[in-house]
Amino acid sequence: MLFGELLLNKSAFTGEEIVNPLIDTGGEKTEKILSHLYHFFAPAPAGWYASKIIAAASGELDAAGRQNSVPEAIMSMFGIKYKERDIDMGKRFKRIGLGKVKQELSAEQRQARRALQRKQIDKDEYKSRIDEIKEKRDRLRERYKKIA
């Protein structure tokens, strides 16, 4: 499994890349690979969980900018995943995701219009595509209303 992770550059535990081939320097790649090897072979309390506890104790922030807490890190070691969530921030992230879907629908509509102009599709096919996009937009509006 370890060989496969290193070969694919993806941790099976976290699902994240082990190294970033685009921006990591040789030294950074080596450091990240050695860290991954340590976490792979170290017993659980000395591996990932110890890193989380140390990060929490030193006051590091998580990816969302929240303070890590030592009790949460310790609970995580025993399989209890607890983290307070900001509901408004969650709604904001959902709205951002829906905004991306809205942009994709607009792109689909432009693509259909170009296909019609280039005579790649006829008016009936164009109308069918536009109706489908309108239905998707209606469903998107309903989802947006549920979030707001």
Check: pTM over 0.75? Answer yes or no. Answer: no
**What is the structure's pLDDT at 45?**
59
**What is the structure's pLDDT at 47?**
64
Which of left, alpha, beta for 99 (phi over 0: left; psi -120 to 50: alpha)? alpha
Q: Which residues lie below 8 Å from residue 36, measured CB to CB, with a gap of 6+?
A: 5, 6, 11, 18
Q: Which two tokens stand for residue 140?
A: 């998107």
Question: Could you write out the DSSP letters of every residue in 105-125?
Answer: HHHHHHHHHHHHHTTSS-HHH
Question: Could you write out the DSSP letters of every residue in 36-87?
Answer: HHHHHHS-GGGTHHHHHHHHHHTT-B-TTSPBP-HHHHHHHHTT-------H
Residue numbers of the chain with a pLDDT score lower than 50: none
Per-residue model confidence as pLDDT tens digits over 70-87: 888 888 777 777 766 667
To the nearest 10°, report the CA torsion of 52, 57, 60, 65: 90
Triad 30, 27, 41: Cα angle to 5°: 20
Q: Which residues lie below 8 Å from residue 61, measured CB to CB, with a gap of 6+?
A: 67, 68
